[in-house]
C-alpha cells in the first residue's frame, strides 16, 4: 500500500470534519436571527437540519473511503496508519475532541463489521479536558462594587435579543426582587463577589437563555435567565436558581440547545461548573454534539465495567412485545434491542421501529421523551452476561448476536437512561406519591400532544420516573403524529344486539381513537384512580384533542416551558 494513501485519506476525513463544523456553526448562528424574528417554524426546521447534518455528510464520506481503500477497507495496518496521519492533522484544533469522534464515525462506517477497537479509534486515549478558563472570549464578568441594580441593568444591556424589551424597567425590578429573596437573605456580598455569564446565548424552541454563576459565600451559585417574546417585545420570564430545575433544563428528555461554541470543551467546562452532577457526555449532548456525547458515554461505560463486577440481567418490568430490554444493576442505563419476531397484535417491521426512534431523535422531546444512543456491533464481556439474560437474548434477538470466546457482540441496540417503570412505582408508593405521579403522567401525555406526538400505547408500563420523579415516555414503537389521528366520540349502543355484541358494532379505522376508553385502563389503583380521572378530565374528551389538532394545523407551535408556571414573573403572559 503506498504511503501516500493513508495521508490522503486522513486529509479527506479532516476536510469532511471541517465541512461538518462549518455547516453546524452556520445552522447554529441562524438561531438568534430566527428568535428575533419569531420565526418558530424556521427554528424547528433549522434544528432538524442540524441534527441530520452529521449522517448526511458521514455516509458519502465513508463510502468514498471504502472505495479508495478497495480490498484493504478492512485492513488493520492501513487504518492504523490513517489514524496516525489524522492525529497529526488535528492535534492543534480547538475542537480536537469532536474531530476524534468524527474519525471514529467514519471508520465505523467504512470498516465492515468493526467493533470498538482502541488501536484504530479514539476510545480511551482521546482528548477529554473540560477545565474552565475564565477568558474574556468566553465570559462576561460583573464585579460586586457596581451594585445589584447596575449589574442587572448592564446584563440586560449587554445581550442583544434582536427585539425591543416589552418593559425592561419592570424586568430589572423582577430580577432584583428575585435575587434579594433567594440569595441576599442568606449570603452577604463581599469584595470577592462577582457574577459571570457565558457570552453565548442558548436558544431552544421559543426561548433564549443566559447561563451564569455568582461567587458568593465562598462558592459559585449558578443561575439561568430565560428570555421570551410577548406581543409587545421580549421580556425576562423568570430567574432560576434551583439546581434541580437547572439540571432538568439540560435533561436527556430535552431537545438540544443552539449555542455558539468556538471551543466546545470550554462551554461544556463552564456548564459543568454550574451543573456539576451532570455528566460531561450529557452536556455535550445538550449543546448539539450528541455524537461526541456518545463517545464519552461509551468511555464512561468502559470505565464502569472495569470498576464493577455485577452481571447484565433482564430489566425489571413487564416484557415488551417489540423490544428486549436488559440492564447492569450498578449502571443507570438500559440496553434495548429490537426483537427478531413481534408477538400479535404488533404488525410493524424492524425498519418501522427504527424509524420511530429516528422520529424521536429529530423531534422536540418537550422534556417527556428519553434521548437514546444507537450502537452497532456493541461489545460486552461474555462473563458479565447472566445465564437468564443469555437465554432471553437467544430466544428473542438471536439474529443480532455474535458470540466469541470473550465477548457478546450485539449488531444493533439502543441505550437509554434507566428509570423506574411507572406501573412498578404505583405498586409500592403511598397514595400521595401516587397521586402526584398520576398527575404528571397525564400532564406528560398532554404535553406530548401539544408537540404533535401521540404516544399510541399509553399504558403505565411504557412510562418511567426520573430521579426527580418526573414522568417520561420511553416506548416509541407506536407513536404517531397527533395530527394523523382521528379522535372520536364513542357511539352509544341503542339496540339489544349492539349492547351485547361481542365485538364493536361500529366501524373503526386504523387511526381512530376513543379518548373515553382511556378511563378503563390508564390508572388501576382505586385510591388514585378517582383523583386522576377528576384531575385530567381533558384526557378523556375528544373535543379537547381535536382542539389541540386544530391549533397545530393552524400553524401554532405550542411552547412547553421547562420550568413551572408558578415561578414565572408574568404567568399570564402568552408567548
Q: DSSP state, 227? A: E
Q: DSSP state, 180? A: I
512-513 and 486-487 beta bridge pairing: parallel
Quick check: is 160 catalytic?
no
Selecting among 95, 171, 371, 475, the annotated active-site residue is 371
Cα–Cα distance measured from residue 33 to residue 114, given in angstroms and rounded to the nearest whole number? 42
- Cβ burial, residue 336 (10 Å; 0-12/13-18/19+): buried
Q: Give the CA count within 13 Å in the CB-facing half-sphere of 499.
A: 3
Angle in degrees, CA 242, 245, 247, rounded to 5: 110
What are the residue ranges of helices labelled H in 377-513?
387-396, 422-428, 431-450, 496-499
Radius of gyration over every alpha carbon of the chain, rounded to an integer in angstroms:
26
Three-state SS for 347?
coil
* Lookup: cell for 44: 424547528
What are the residue ranges of helices labelled H in 38-95?
40-69, 76-90
Tell me if 377 sits within 8 A of 409, measured CB to CB: yes
Cα–Cα distance measured from residue 20 to residue 98, given in angstroms and rounded to the nearest whole number? 10
Tell me if 45 sits within 8 A of 74, measured CB to CB: no
Cα–Cα distance measured from residue 456 to residue 395, given in angstroms and rounded to the nearest whole number? 27
Tell me if 431 sits within 8 A of 438, measured CB to CB: no
Neighbours of 344 (CB within 10 A): 6
The b-or-e profile of 193-208 (16+ CB within 10 A means b, else e) is: bbbbbbbbbbbbbbbb
Cα–Cα distance measured from residue 326 to residue 335, given in angstroms and rounded to the nearest whole number? 5
Q: Locate the DSSP E strands across 99-255.
A: 139-143, 194-198, 202-204, 207-216, 219-230, 233-236
Tell me if 221 sits within 8 A of 196, measured CB to CB: no
Three-state SS for 71?
helix
Cα–Cα distance measured from residue 248 to residue 367, given in angstroms and rounded to the nearest whole number? 8
Angle in degrees, CA 465, 303, 394, rounded to 5: 65
**Element (DSSP H or E) covering residue 411:** strand 407-417
Cα–Cα distance measured from residue 191 to residue 168, given in angstroms and rounded to the nearest whole number? 28
Cα–Cα distance measured from residue 134 to residue 469, given in angstroms and rounded to the nearest whole number? 35
Active-site residue set: 371
Amino acid at each position: 500500500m503506498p504511503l501516500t494513501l493513508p495521508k490522503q485519506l486522513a486529509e479527506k476525513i479532516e476536510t469532511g470534519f471541517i465541512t461538518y463544523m462549518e455547516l453546524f456553526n452556520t445552522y447554529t448562528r441562524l438561531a438568534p436571527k430566527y428568535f428575533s424574528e419569531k420565526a418558530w417554524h424556521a427554528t424547528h426546521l433549522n434544528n432538524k437540519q442540524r441534527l441530520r447534518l452529521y449522517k448526511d455528510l458521514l455516509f458519502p464520506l465513508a463510502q468514498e473511503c471504502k472505495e479508495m481503500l478497495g480490498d484493504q477497507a478492512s485492513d488493520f495496518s492501513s487504518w492504523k496508519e490513517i489514524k496516525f496521519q489524522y492525529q497529526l492533522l488535528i492535534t492543534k484544533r480547538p475542537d480536537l475532541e469532536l474531530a476524534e469522534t468524527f474519525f471514529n464515525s467514519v471508520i465505523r462506517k467504512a470498516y465492515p463489521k468493526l467493533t470498538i477497537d482502541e488501536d484504530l479509534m479514539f476510545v480511551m486515549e482521546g482528548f477529554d479536558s473540560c477545565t474552565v478558563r475564565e477568558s474574556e472570549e468566553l465570559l462576561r464578568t460583573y464585579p460586586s462594587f457596581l451594585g445589584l441594580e447596575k449589574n442587572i441593568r448592564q446584563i440586560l444591556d449587554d445581550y442583544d435579543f434582536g427585539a425591543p424589551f416589552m418593559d425592561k424597567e419592570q424586568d430589572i425590578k423582577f430580577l432584583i426582587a428575585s435575587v434579594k429573596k433567594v440569595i441576599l437573605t442568606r449570603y452577604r456580598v463581599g469584595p470577592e463577589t462577582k457574577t459571570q455569564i457565558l457570552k453565548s446565548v442558548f436558544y431552544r424552541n421559543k426561548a433564549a437563555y443566559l447561563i451564569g454563576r455568582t461567587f458568593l459565600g465562598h462558592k459559585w451559585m449558578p443561575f439561568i435567565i430565560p428570555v421570551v417574546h410577548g406581543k409587545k417585545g421580549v421580556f425576562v420570564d423568570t430567574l432560576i436558581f434551583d439546581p434541580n430545575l437547572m439540571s432538568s433544563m439540560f435533561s436527556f428528555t430535552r431537545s438540544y440547545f443552539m449555542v455558539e461554541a468556538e471551543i466546545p470543551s470550554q462551554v461544556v467546562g463552564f456548564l459543568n461548573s454550574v451543573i456539576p452532577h451532570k455528566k460531561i457526555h450529557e452536556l455535550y449532548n445538550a449543546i448539539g454534539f450528541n455524537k461526541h456525547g456518545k463517545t464519552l458515554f461509551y468511555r464512561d461505560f468502559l470505565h464502569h465495567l472495569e470498576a464493577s463486577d455485577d452481571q447484565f440481567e433482564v430489566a425489571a418490568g413487564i416484557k415488551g412485545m417489540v423490544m428486549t430490554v436488559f440492564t447492569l444493576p450498578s449502571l443507570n442505563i438500559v440496553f434495548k434491542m429490537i426483537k427478531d419476531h413481534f408477538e400479535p397484535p404488533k404488525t410493524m417491521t424492524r425498519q418501522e421501529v427504527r424509524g420511530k426512534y429516528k422520529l424521536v431523535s429529530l423531534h422536540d422531546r418537550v422534556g417527556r421523551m428519553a434521548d437514546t444512543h444507537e450502537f452497532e456491533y456493541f461489545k460486552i464481556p461474555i462473563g458479565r452476561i447472566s445465564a437468564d439474560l443469555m437465554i432471553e437474548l437467544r430466544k428473542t434477538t438471536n439474529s443480532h448476536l455474535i458470540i466469541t470466546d470473550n465477548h457478546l457482540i450485539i449488531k444493533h441496540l439502543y441505550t437509554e437512561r434507566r428509570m423506574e417503570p411507572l406501573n412498578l412505582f404505583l405498586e409500592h408508593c403511598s397514595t400521595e406519591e401516587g397521586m402526584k405521579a398520576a398527575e404528571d403522567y397525564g400532564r406528560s401525555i398532554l404535553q406530548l400532544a401539544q408537540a404533535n406526538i401521540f404516544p399510541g400505547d399509553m399504558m403505565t408500563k411504557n412510562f418511567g420516573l426520573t430521579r426527580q420523579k418526573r414522568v417520561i415516555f420511553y416506548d416509541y414503537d407506536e407513536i404517531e403524529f397527533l395530527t394523523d389521528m382521528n379522535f372520536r366520540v364513542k357511539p352509544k349502543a341503542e339496540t339489544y344486539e349492539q349492547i351485547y355484541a361481542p365485538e364493536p358494532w361500529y366501524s373503526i379505522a386504523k387511526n381512530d381513537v376513543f379518548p373515553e376508553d382511556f378511563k378503563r385502563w390508564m390508572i388501576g389503583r382505586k385510591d388514585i384512580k378517582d383523583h386522576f380521572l377528576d384531575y385530567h378530565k381533558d384526557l378523556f374528551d375528544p373535543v379537547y384533542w381535536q382542539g389541540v389538532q386544530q391549533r397545530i394545523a393552524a400553524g401554532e407551535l405550542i411552547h412547553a416551558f421547562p420550568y413551572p408556571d408558578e415561578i414565572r414573573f408574568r404567568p399570564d403572559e402568552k408567548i
